Amino acid sequence: MKEESKEFTPNILYALCSWCGSGGSETAGAMKLHYPENVKPVRFYCTGGIDPVYIFRALLEGADGVVVSGCHPGDCHFDTGNYRARRRIAAVKTILNTLGLDGDRVWLRWVGHGEGKRFVDTASEFDEHIQEKGPSPLKGIRGV
Amino acid sequence: MIREIPRVGVYVCHCGANIAAKVDVEEVARFASKLDFVESARDYKFMCSDPGQQLVVDDIREKGLNRIVVASCSPRMHEKTFRKACQKAGLNPYYFQMACIREHDAWVTEDPGEATDKAKELVQGAVSRVLHHESLVPRTVDINPNVLVIGGGIAGMQAALTIADAGKTVYLVEREPCIGGNMAKFDKTFPTLDCAACILTPKMVAVGQHENIELLTYSEVVDVEGFVGNFKATVRKKPRYVDMDKCTGCGVCNEKCPAKAISEFDQGLSKRKAIYSPFPQAVPNTPVIDRDMCIYFKKGKCRACEKFCEADAIDFDQQEEKITLDVGAIIVATGFKPFDPSVAERYGYGKYPEVYTSLEFERVNNATGPTEGQIRLKDGRVPETMAIIHCVGSRDKNHNAYCSRVCCMYSMKYAHLIREKTGANVYEFYIDIRSPGKGYEEFYNRVQSEGVQFIRGNVAGVTDKAIGEDEKGKLIVLAEDSLSGRFLRVPVDAVVLSVGLEAAEGAEAVARMVGISQDQDGWFNELHPKLAPQATPSDGIFLAGCCQGPKDIPDTVSTANGAAAEALSLIMREKVEVEAAVSSIDAERCMGCRQCETICMFDAIEYDSALNVCVVNEAICKGCGLCASTCPNKAIGVRHFGNEQILSEMEGVML
Ligand SMILES: Cc1cc2nc3c(=O)[nH]c(=O)nc-3n(C[C@H](O)[C@H](O)[C@H](O)COP(=O)(O)OP(=O)(O)OC[C@H]3O[C@@H](n4cnc5c(N)ncnc54)[C@H](O)[C@@H]3O)c2cc1C
């Protein structure tokens, strides 16, 4: 249950690879573990295929934060896609910070197929984290 | 790019009460009906049922729908089902999108109002996405008809035999010098008390002699590449230092070898030689030289085995070998290892010599074991009282929370054998008796009637600190009898710890290699715990036996046959359909920088030097999208996971 006092419900995108990340989210489902409804999973094929543009676009279009989960190091379905993702997310954070925006609105955390609890914990922690930060200054900047 | 005017049909599934109890499905359908391009939206009890699918088929035909969205469970469950329904109605299956409102919403959201809102967002995301879908044609590739089985326990052996009997080639890779796994160490097997060797040996021989099975013992798979239908596995064959083609298995080398080592097979209860076969009926019966213990390898002198070998089979120069196998499917059957009770100090294992693990006790009972099957204390006396402690390492938050499933039954097997062989009093310290299975409860009743004493309660510890006269020289089991509420001290001569099962040593490396995952306890995850128990999320990789969780032999054999059937069903198809979602390069935009070529781990991108552009080989591409996100000119798109599709879904779910 969300607290009554919560003034702001962040809009959060949870980008998942089709293997471990989605698997974790489904395990969470099967275990009936709860997480805030404002965290919305979107399925990608591999985290390595997540173009930094997607993350920027999400932030521009109204997301207050984006969290990405793929396979643990060594477990990637495509061998090294998750390492690419790690590097790209690091770059995205740097770019955001450089622009005076907040790189910490983007998280990357590995979640394995069976790790329903870790998935839910990540979703909840990230939600709290973004709540503390408040709405994204970029929100709706494209005026769409 | 939207080429024709989309006419979208949206179907919101109740999934019985799974979704409908949380999400107001009618409201979601109403909401969906107002979205742009949505022609019709409705809710239905079970979309995956025949009538549910028929709704889709009929609507496509009657209402001229050309895009379909089903909001129900995870695409892993039913994406294929609905794609097929589309196809049946003449619509390209890729004009379909699933919104996951069960696993991603109804099951994980507490508040019904919020769950309904989230369902709307997820549906909106799917509708926006499907507008940008393109018609794709799935590709087919040839399947290699050979199968690799990793692990030669009863599971791997059974799977190999079933496949080989169907006329297909199987490579069975076992890391120990011989096959048989844990079962080969047992004496009798519950509940029928057949002798393990009597039922296992013929199977081992059948595996060894089968013309379609290539047995690779003392070998490990070190790398797996490729994908369903076309895997390439690299196997490392450790040197045996004995030529398998020449060796007759006469055993003279073993007799003459002067170096002794601890027998792993006998659980450390006996000695073996440096040149050895783990047990007399081993398959293959070619011994191996333990390099670390061999006097020749250590000191450069001895070669006794070589001198006496009439077959001239000893070869100290043998080298490790690496071979590659091409296979279409892989069955993982790496089994389990027993829980190590030395980490649970209260049981006194390692401290008191008369405390045994169950696997040690199997060897004690076994006619080819260290005591030739006689139950004797270390000083040779026949025990008068024995305790068997259940759930050691299992159902214990400090170790493994799960039940290991077989320990109650094998514990009662021991009780029976002890009564039969020695007449000793037996105390079974149990928490609950788990005896589900054919003839299992009957076996429990039988053991009870044989005078075995069952004490329900947790064991606090085992000690040799005697209080009374009757405890002198004994081990005392301290336990609470939870039925009478009394605290007991039970003096016994020996204790058997019924240790639980854990995932095999090295399971993690195997998981990584073949691209499957482990659960929190280390067991391999199946694709679906109920409906796809042998398949894994990695196509072409199947599971058999205890590597996916504790099992008795009957269940192990069933799962092995299940995995074999699935592997056969795959390779018999000869061709496999692979995702149509592959990359494509827009030659107009490509500047031939070749970054994609470097980054692609499947070598699916080639450089055309004449045109100075890169080209995707669609037969090899797996659609991971690495190249697309790398391309500095945005010249690469991944079909079905293209920019338009992803961005529109993202924007859709954010409302
Ligand atoms: C003490 C005890 C008594 C039992 N008694 C009974 C009984 O009476 N009746 C009954 O029905 N069940 C009994 N069971 C359960 C039974 O042992 C299992 O059901 C059965 O052994 C499972 O077979 P498996 O092939 O899956 O695994 P295993 O027997 O563990 O075989 C796995 C094989 O894979 C090999 N391997 C592992 N990793 C690799 C790798 N990376 N590469 C290559 N090879 C590898 C191993 O060396 C091993 O040979 C008992 C279990 C225990 C612990």
DSSP chain A: ---TT------EEEEE-TTHHHHHHHHHHHTT----TTEEEEE-S-GGG--HHHHHHHHHHT-SEEEEE-PPTT--TTSSHHHHHHHHHHHHHHHHHHTTS-GGGEEE----TT-HHHHHHHHHHHHHHHHHH-S-TTTTTT--
Residue B7's alpha-carbon distances to B1, B31, B68, in angstroms, are 15, 16, 8
Same domain, B145 and B116: no
Q: Which residues in chain B have their CB less than 8 angstroms from residue A80's CB?
A: 601
pLDDT at B567: 98
How many Å lie between the centroid of ligand 1 and the Cα of residue B387? 24
Same domain, B617 and B538: no
Same domain, B510 and B614: no
Please determine, for residue B232, whether its predicted confidence score (pLDDT) is greater than 80: yes
Q: Are B430 and B455 spatial neighbours (Cβ–Cβ below 8 Å)?
A: yes
Mean pLDDT in residue range A116-127: 96
Alpha-carbon gap: A107 to the closest alpha carbon of chain B (Å)? 17
Among A37, A51, A74, select the one facing B109 at the smallest CB separation: A37
Q: Are B117 and A39 spatial neighbours (Cβ–Cβ below 8 Å)?
A: no
| Cβ-defined contacts of B270-273 (< 8 Å, 24+) | B270/B363, B270/B369, B270/B370
Same domain, B610 and B557: no
Query: For residue B136, what are its two tokens?
Result: 């794709």
pLDDT tens-place string over residues B14-44: 999 999 999 999 999 999 999 999 999 999 9
Last residue of a domain, one of B476, B502, B528: B502
pLDDT tens-place string over residues B521-534: 999 999 888 889 99
Query: For residue B411, what are its two tokens?
Result: 């514990």
Please determine, for residue B520, whether its predicted confidence score (pLDDT) is greater than 90: no
CA distance B530 to B510: 23
pLDDT at B639: 93
pLDDT tens-place string over residues B531-576: 899 999 788 999 999 999 999 999 999 999 999 999 999 999 999 8
A17, A26, A75: best mutation site toward chain B, by most B Cβ within 10 Å?
Answer: A26
Please determine, for residue B655, whether its predicted confidence score (pLDDT) is greater than 80: no
Among A43, A58, A75, select the one facing B517 at the smallest CB separation: A75
pLDDT tens-place string over residues A5-29: 457 999 999 999 998 999 999 999 9
pLDDT at A144: 44
Q: pLDDT confidence of A1, banded at 50, 70, 90?
A: very low
Q: The domain spanning residue B201 has which CATH number? A: 3.50.50.60
Q: Are B182 and B194 spatial neighbours (Cβ–Cβ below 8 Å)?
A: no
pLDDT at A142: 64
How many Å lie between the centroid of ligand 1 and the Cα of residue B423? 30
The SS3 assignment for B543 reads strand
Among B107, B581, B622, select the one facing A29 at the smallest CB separation: B107
Q: Which residues in chain A have their CB less than 8 angstroms from residue B581's CB?
A: 45
Q: pLDDT confidence of A2, banded at 50, 70, 90?
A: very low
Interface contact A13-B650, CB threshold 8 A = yes
Whether B468 is covered by a domain: the verdict is yes
pLDDT at B266: 96
Please determine, for residue B194, whether its predicted confidence score (pLDDT) is greater than 60: yes
- Secondary structure tally for chain B: helices H, strands E: 17, 34
Whether B246 is covered by a domain: the verdict is no
b/e code B571-610 from CB counts within 10 Å (16+ = b): beeeebebbbbbbbbeeeebeebeebbebbebebbebeee
Angle at B510 between CA A24 and CA B172, to 5 degrees: 130
Please determine, for residue B4, whether its predicted confidence score (pLDDT) is greater than 90: no
Same domain, B596 and B524: no
pLDDT at B33: 98
Interface contact B520-A28, CB threshold 8 A = no
What is the rounded radius of gyration, in angstroms, for the C-alpha atoms of chain B?
31
Length of chain B: 655
Phi, psi dihedrals of residue B542, rounded to the nearest 5°: -125, 160
Please name the residue ranges forming H helices in B211-343.
252-256, 295-299, 304-308
Same domain, B571 and B583: no
DSSP letter at B523 equals P
Burial class (CB in 10 A: 0-12, 13-18, 19+), B355: buried
pLDDT at A25: 96
Tell which one of B173, B183, B392, B508 to mutate to probe ligand 1, the residue whose CB is within 8 A of the most ligand atoms: B183
Cα torsion at A83, A84, A85, A91 (round to 10°)? 110
pLDDT tens-place string over residues B240-259: 999 999 999 999 999 999 99
Q: Which residues in chain A have their CB less than 8 angstroms from residue B595's CB?
A: none
pLDDT at B512: 84
Whether B540 is covered by a domain: the verdict is yes
Phi, psi dihedrals of residue B461, rounded to the nearest 5°: 175, 175
pLDDT tens-place string over residues B305-350: 999 999 999 999 999 999 999 999 999 999 999 999 999 999 999 9
The SS3 assignment for B365 reads helix
Nearest to B405 by CA among B440, B367, B446: B440
How many Å lie between the centroid of ligand 1 and the Cα of residue B549? 11
Whether B456 is covered by a domain: the verdict is yes
Same domain, B469 and B350: yes
Whether B2 is covered by a domain: the verdict is no
Last residue of a domain, one of B455, B478, B502: B502
Same domain, B49 and B192: no
Cα torsion at A34, A35, A39, A45 (round to 10°)? -60
Same domain, B344 and B423: yes
Same domain, B115 and B163: no
E strands in B228-316? 230-237, 260-262, 271-273, 275-276, 288-289
Phi, psi dihedrals of residue B530, rounded to the nearest 5°: -110, -45
Alpha-carbon gap: B498 to the closest alpha carbon of chain A (Å)? 28
pLDDT tens-place string over residues B262-296: 999 999 999 999 999 999 899 999 999 999 999 99
pLDDT at A143: 54
Cis peptide, bond prior to residue B554, ω within 30 of zero: no
Whether B645 is covered by a domain: the verdict is no
Nearest to B515 by CA among A11, A88, A19, A82: A19
How many Å lie between the centroid of ligand 1 and the Cα of residue B338? 9
Q: Are B653 and A42 spatial neighbours (Cβ–Cβ below 8 Å)?
A: yes
pLDDT at A140: 66
Ligand 1: does its nearest atom lie under 6 Å from the Cβ of B338? yes
Same domain, B355 and B454: yes
Tell which one of B543, B552, B557 to mutate to probe ligand 1, the residue whose CB is within 8 A of the most ligand atoms: B552
Type of residue numbered B318: Q
Q: Which domain holds residue B355?
A: 339-502
Nearest to B545 by CA among B560, B563, B565: B560
How many Å lie between the centroid of ligand 1 and the Cα of residue B559? 13
Query: Average pLDDT of chain B?
Result: 95
Burial class (CB in 10 A: 0-12, 13-18, 19+), B84: middle
Structural domain spans, chain A: 13-132
Same domain, B378 and B467: yes
N-terminal to C-terminal alpha carbon distance within chain A: 31
DSSP B183-223: GGG-SEETTTTEEHHHHHHHHHHHHHH-TTEEEE-SEEEEE
Relative orientation angle of helices B154-165 and B196-209, to the nearest 10 degrees: 50
Q: The domain spanning residue B598 has which CATH number? A: 3.30.70.20
Please determine, for residue B239, whether its predicted confidence score (pLDDT) is greater than 50: yes
pLDDT at B579: 75
pLDDT at B398: 94
Hey, what CATH topology would domain A13-132 get?
Answer: Rossmann fold (3.40.50)
Length of chain A: 144
Whether B482 is covered by a domain: the verdict is yes
Can you tell me which residue has the tokens 């009478």?
Answer: B484
Mean pLDDT in residue range B511-516: 87
Q: How many domains does chain B have?
A: 5
Cα torsion at B586, B592, B593, B597 (round to 10°)? 70
B513, B624, B653: best mutation site toward chain A, by most A Cβ within 10 Å?
Answer: B624
Nearest to B102 by CA among B21, B173, B174: B21
CA distance B89 to B101: 25
Nearest to A32 by CA among B102, B48, B523, B100: B102
pLDDT at B159: 98
ipTM comes to 0.94
Can you tell me which residue has the tokens 């198809």?
Answer: B573
Last residue of a domain, one of B502, B529, B550: B502
DSSP letter at B525 equals P
Chain B nearest-CA residue for A57: B647
Q: What share of chain B is helix, strand, coil (3-state, %, to 5)?
A: 30, 25, 45
Please determine, for residue B2, whether its predicted confidence score (pLDDT) is greater than 70: no
| Residues facing residue B273 across a β-bridge | B260
